[in-house]
Amino acid sequence: MTGLRRLALISVHTSPLSQPGTGDAGGMNVYVWQTARRLAQRGIEVEIFTRATSSSDSPIVPAAPGVLVRHVEAGPFDGLDKRDLPGQLCAFSANVLRAEAAQAPGYYDLIHSHYWLSGQVGWLARDRWRVPLVHTAHTLAAVKNASLAGGDTAEPMGRVIGEQQVVAEADRLIANTRTEADELVDFYDADPDKIDIVAPGVDLDCYTPGPRAAARAALGLVDQAVYVTFVGRIQPLKAPDVLLAAMAPLIRADPTGRLRLLIVGGPSGSGLARPTALVDLAARLGVGDRVDFRPPQPPADLVQVYRASNLVAVPSFSESFGLVAIEAQACGVPVIAADVGGLGVAVVDGVSGRLVAGHDVDLWTGELADLLADPVRLDRYGAAAVAHAREFSWEHTTDALLASYDAAMGDFPPGPTRRAPLGRRARNWLRTRPRMAG
């Protein structure tokens, strides 16, 4: 290891202390928190910079041994959507630089930024502190826009350009899968030689198989029911409406009345505009009495959600990886998922679950019907899922991150930055995107 003592980890728009499944909190929160803790356990001091969203946020929170969370004031505490945050990057950056300026020179050895907003801050801090910048995108605007959910809002051109700038400036890029690495090259013309593929992990001490009946009793669920479960933010990108529409005819046709849909999560992103849309849809489809809506759950309770399920569905239009799929499988539950992004790595088709090509509701209904009619196959998939999930651990993720950090520090300072143009597919999207009126 090339002398990494203290890491500045930047996560502008969402805090690792927030509950995943609420607001903009999701898999990225889990990733940041789990890797920060394990890096600290390896003897590296980790300081996480995130935007303060409440006047009660302490400026500095010792979140775990060796991990500090710094709440940075940038704009009003309440009322700012993620899309409003580019206008607060100057304030956020200024306060990050001030925090470093209060320390002895050379206080931080490396910066790891998460999401493009953080990458913009990290780019500035990298040049000011003269330390390498490692960047993880988590999601890419050009990729999301290429597979946009019906009725969803396209990511703005400013984000596409901002991501391009970060891709060109970062010293190393972390991709969750080979697919994401190829997307960085194809959409953003990234240098393949500076991309490291680092798969996210799962907390294998927390997410383990357990008795289904006990989990259902703990959650107050119907013991003899058959539950298909969705866990995630309620927004078009995650496609819970596709799952609900696909399940509705199966629920209505079920003569036993045992088939249920369990939805765990809160409105997020463009879903905030219609927070009751999914509940209203269930009522219109005539299945409201057999759809159980629950708020986001902390890990100790989320384990019980997975254990209580017969099948977990991840129908997203875009996923850089899909932590829900790995968490469910670690609990011994098979997964049916859209064959997009990293879900093709997270789920082994025909072994630990099923991958569905596309988001046609009738196709999903057929795939769900086939699986639910074959409990022996579900049990076989569930057993294989546990073994598959054990290939992904946060310890493995941390090992790979440290190797990337080592490469970034070993190659620093870099040569002149290659000011890459937008990748071909991003240029095509910009040419063909719908023009906004006015």
Pair (189, 282) in one structural domain = no
Q: What is the dihedral of CA 47, 48, 51, 57, to 10 degrees?
A: -70
Indicate whether 292 belongs to any domain: yes
Pair (49, 149) in one structural domain = yes
For the annotated binding site for UDP-N-acetyl-alpha-D-glucosamine, the residues are 19-20, 27, 233, 238, 297, 319, 327
pTM of model > 0.75: yes
Total structural domains in the chain?
A: 2
| CATH number, residue 148 | 3.40.50.2000
Indicate whether 1 belongs to any domain: no
For the annotated binding site for Mg(2+), the residues are 306-307, 309
Strand extents, DSSP E, 353-408: 353-356
First to last CA, the chain: 54
Pair (176, 154) in one structural domain = yes
Q: CB count, 10 Å around CB of 179?
A: 19
Question: What does the radius of gyration of the chain's CA atoms come to, in whole angstroms?
Answer: 22
Pair (361, 234) in one structural domain = yes
Structural domain of 34 = 6-201+393-411
Pair (139, 175) in one structural domain = yes
Pair (234, 380) in one structural domain = yes
CA distances in angstroms from 339 to 234, 278, 322, 359, listed in the order given: 19, 23, 11, 9
Indicate whether 33 belongs to any domain: yes
Pair (250, 282) in one structural domain = yes
Cβ contacts of residue 90 below 8 Å, gap of 6+? none
pLDDT tens for each residue of 218-227: 999 999 999 9
pLDDT tens for each residue of 380-398: 999 999 999 999 999 999 9
Pair (193, 76) in one structural domain = yes
pLDDT truncated to tens, each residue of the chain (438 aa)?
568 999 999 999 888 887 665 556 677 889 999 999 999 999 999 999 999 988 888 999 999 999 999 999 998 887 777 788 898 999 999 999 999 999 998 999 999 999 999 999 999 999 999 999 999 999 999 998 988 777 788 889 999 999 999 999 999 999 999 999 999 999 999 999 999 999 999 999 999 999 999 999 999 999 999 999 999 989 899 999 999 999 999 999 998 999 999 999 988 665 566 778 899 999 999 999 999 999 999 999 999 999 999 999 999 999 989 999 999 999 999 999 999 999 999 999 999 999 999 999 999 999 999 999 999 999 999 999 999 999 999 999 999 999 999 999 999 987 655 444 565 555 555 555 544 433
Pair (249, 397) in one structural domain = no
Pair (240, 359) in one structural domain = yes
Indicate whether 131 belongs to any domain: yes
Pair (169, 314) in one structural domain = no
Pair (327, 371) in one structural domain = yes
For the annotated binding site for 1D-myo-inositol 3-phosphate, the residues are 13, 24-29, 82, 115, 139, 159
pLDDT for position 167 = 97
pLDDT for position 418 = 47
For the annotated binding site, the residues are 13, 19-20, 24-29, 82, 115, 139, 159, 233, 238, 297, 306-307, 309, 319, 327
